[in-house]
Amino acid sequence: MAGLGVALIGTGFMGKCHAMAWRNVATVFGGAPARLEMLCDTPKDRAAALASRFGFARSSEDWQTVVQDPSVDVVSITTPNALHRRMAEAALRAGKHVWLEKPMALTLADAEAMAALAARHPAQVTMLGYNYLRSPAFQAAAKMIAEGTIGRPHAFRGVYDEDYSADPTLPWTWRMTKAEGGLGALGDLGCHLVSQMVTLMGPVAEVTALTQVTVPERLSPDGPRAVENEDSAFALVRFVSGALGSFATSRVAQGRKCRLQWEVQGSDGTMVFDQESMNELLIHRRGEAGFTRHLTGPEQPDFAAFCPAPGHNFGFNEQKVVECRDLIAAIGGAPSRGPDFAQGLAIERVIHAMATSDGQPVCIRETAHEDA
């Protein structure tokens, strides 16, 4: 059986990550190797050079041509946020499956329209790039919590901090505008934390949040430019289950590189995870004196496919290979492990509610409007 024909649009950090996943997924998990058909970027010379380097057969600087190409079955989209809706919708209308990096869209209205369109194309599989959900430690944690290892979860405390914008002398970029970047720390980082939060705790009923712009103005080639979206956000959360939570995210947290950290407190114990130590879980059970450290190993989901030896660490790019495997399986008819566009819309509703709360409670609604 021939492998899927793949197109990649965008070749930055996550574009390279997608390319590695497509090249490695058959090696790790078996099955037919993907056919790397087309790579798209600008200018044309860059696209051609990276197509050769990444192993794609052809290149183009015209993404519309790429999504229409008959050799392409699935389109990986790793472009800046403002292009997500146009490209994803064009790919769906062309009959392609879509693997789209987060955030889903610039605005909640865009995300609602994308989810509505995907619902009208049920033969096409959609997946959003929430690869942190695929780490063996997180998968093990989700399973244990669902099975009652720490009893009934009643409290969640989560934070996702990085410092890539912490230096106030760093120049202004498109990421700091609503027209090109959409949300700030919430769209770049906080959505990852929400994806893990709802996986562990169930859907969100209500949020009360505040946001902050720490560096209100940055220098650009044209002079000072305003920072239009949030550098940090803080929220209190009420889940549909009745459990409560706290949430914080920042792109200006000095010294923090990838502090995606959460704690779930339950009636019979507590579980702790930190992405900067992504190969371990800390678990406390009622009656124990403290926490037990659990290292990743082949007994945890998907670890053994990469390495048979316990304690030999998993990594960021390996998570993407697992995500790619799940996408291929869903295209082949297996149940989707998501997040698809419908599940992604639920994440978008939470982060956009946080962005607009301004200290007032916001209920999370569940119905999407129809795409015009």
Segment holding 8, helix H or strand E:
strand 5-9
CA neighbor of 156 nearest in space, from 242, 243, 277? 243
Residues of the chain with CATH 3.30.360.10: 133-363
Check if the beta carbon of residue 209 is closer than 8 Å to that of residue 354: yes
What mean pLDDT do residues 341-360 have? Answer: 98
pLDDT in tens, 153-185: 999 999 999 999 999 999 999 999 999 999 999
Distance CA 313, CA 210 (A): 37
pLDDT in tens, 114-145: 999 999 999 999 999 999 999 999 999 999 99
pLDDT in tens, 300-309: 999 999 999 9
In this structure, the strands spanning 244-250 and 153-161 are parallel
**Is residue 207 scored above 80 in pLDDT?**
yes
Q: Kindly report the number of other CB atoms within 10 A of residue 218's CB atom.
A: 17
What mean pLDDT do residues 188-196 have? Answer: 98
Check if the beta carbon of residue 350 is closer than 8 Å to that of residue 364: yes
Q: Is the dihedral of CA 302, 348, 168, 248 positive or negative?
A: negative
The CATH class given to the 133-363 domain equals: alpha beta
pLDDT in tens, 215-274: 999 999 999 999 999 999 999 999 999 999 999 999 999 999 999 999 999 999 999 999
Distance CA 229, CA 184 (A): 5
Computed over every residue of the chain, the mean pLDDT equals 96
- The counts of H helices and E strands in the chain are 11, 17
In this structure, the strands spanning 153-161 and 204-212 are unpaired
Asked whether the whole model's pTM tops 0.75, one would answer yes
pLDDT in tens, 80-116: 999 999 999 999 999 999 999 999 999 999 999 999 9
Residue 132: what residue type?
Y
Q: Tell me, what's the pLDDT at 372?
A: 34
Say what percent of the chain tops pLDDT 70. Answer: 98
Q: Tell me, what's the pLDDT at 2?
A: 76
Q: Kindly report the number of other CB atoms within 10 A of residue 151's CB atom.
A: 15
Distance CA 126, CA 119 (A): 10
Residue 1 pLDDT level (bands cut at 50, 70, 90): low
DSSP for 32-71 reads PPPEEEEEE-SSHHHHHHHHHHHT-SEEES-HHHHHH-TT
**Is residue 371 scored above 50 in pLDDT?**
no
Residue 366 pLDDT level (bands cut at 50, 70, 90): low
Distances (CA, A) of 155 to 2, 114, 236, 291: 47, 32, 11, 17
CA neighbor of 158 nearest in space, from 269, 284, 259? 259
Distance CA 100, CA 343 (A): 13
Say what percent of the chain tops pLDDT 90. Answer: 97
DSSP for 299-352 reads TSTTHHHH-SSTTS---HHHHHHHHHHHHHHHHTTSPP-S--HHHHHHHHHHHH
Residues of the chain with CATH 3.40.50.720: 5-131
Residue 200 pLDDT level (bands cut at 50, 70, 90): very high
The architecture (CATH level 2) of 5-131 comes to 3-Layer(aba) Sandwich (3.40)
